[in-house]
């Protein structure tokens, strides 16, 4: 059974940083593209970033380029999202997801950016 467990969310001030983690199990992590998708309170889904299985290619939505960095550690079956220069509009539940076409989702971790 595929399991994706996010952690690292919380309350952070505008301009601050946070690192999200996702522990993956139940599949061969090193063979899959991985994604981060977010959902602001009461809003729809927004794709944030993807990373290739070997980490050699990364893609981002324009609104986070230069501020967020997606990475992975295949030896630890883990996915990360380093978020810097956070803004109020980054407040959302962040989901870790498997695949380019998002076959599986984690339960999400809430990031709140507020002073």
Partner 1 sequence: DVVMTQSPLSLPVTLGQPASISCKSSQSLVYSDGNTYLNWFQQRPGQSPRRLIYRVSNRDSGVPDRFSGSGSGTDFTLKISRVEAEDVGVYYCMQGTHWPRTFGQGTKLEIK
If one asks whether residue 23 binds partner 1 (CB under 8 A), the answer comes out as no
If one asks whether residue 61 binds partner 1 (CB under 8 A), the answer comes out as yes
**What is the distance between the alpha carbons of residues 115 and 82, in angstroms, rounded to a whole number?**
20
If one asks whether residue 41 binds partner 1 (CB under 8 A), the answer comes out as no
Q: Which is nearer to partner 1, 13 or 28 (by Cβ)? A: 28
Candidates 15-23, 24-32, 80-88, 104-112: pick the segment binding partner 1 (CB under 8 A): 104-112
- Among 1, 31, 41, 62, which residue interacts with partner 1 (rule: CB under 8 A)? 62
**What are the backbone dihedrals phi and psi of residue 11, each rounded to the nearest 5 degrees, phi first?**
-95, 130
Pairing of strands 45-51, 92-98: unpaired
If one asks whether residue 5 binds partner 1 (CB under 8 A), the answer comes out as no
**What are the backbone dihedrals phi and psi of residue 53, each rounded to the nearest 5 degrees, phi first?**
-50, -40
**What is the distance between the alpha carbons of residues 20 and 18, in angstroms, rounded to a whole number?**
7
Measure the N-to-C terminal CA separation of the chain; round to a whole number of Å: 40
Min CB(32)–partner 1 separation in Å: 13
Positions in the binding site for partner 1 (CB under 8 A): 35, 37, 44-47, 50, 59-62, 95, 100-108
């Amino acid at each position: 059974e595929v399991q994706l467990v996010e952690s690292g969310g919380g309350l952070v001030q505008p301009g601050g940083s946070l690192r999200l983690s996702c522990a993956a199990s139940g599949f061969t992590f090193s063979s899959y593209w991985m994604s981060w998708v977010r959902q602001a309170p009461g809003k729809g889904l927004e794709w944030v970033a993807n990373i290739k299985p070997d980490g050699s290619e990364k893609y981002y939505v324009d609104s986070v380029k230069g501020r967020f960095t997606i990475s992975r550690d295949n030896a630890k079956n883990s996915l990360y999202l380093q978020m810097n220069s956070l803004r109020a509009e980054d407040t959302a539940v962040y989901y870790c997801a498997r695949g380019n076409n998002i076959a599986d989702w984690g339960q999400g971790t809430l990031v709140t950016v507020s002073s």
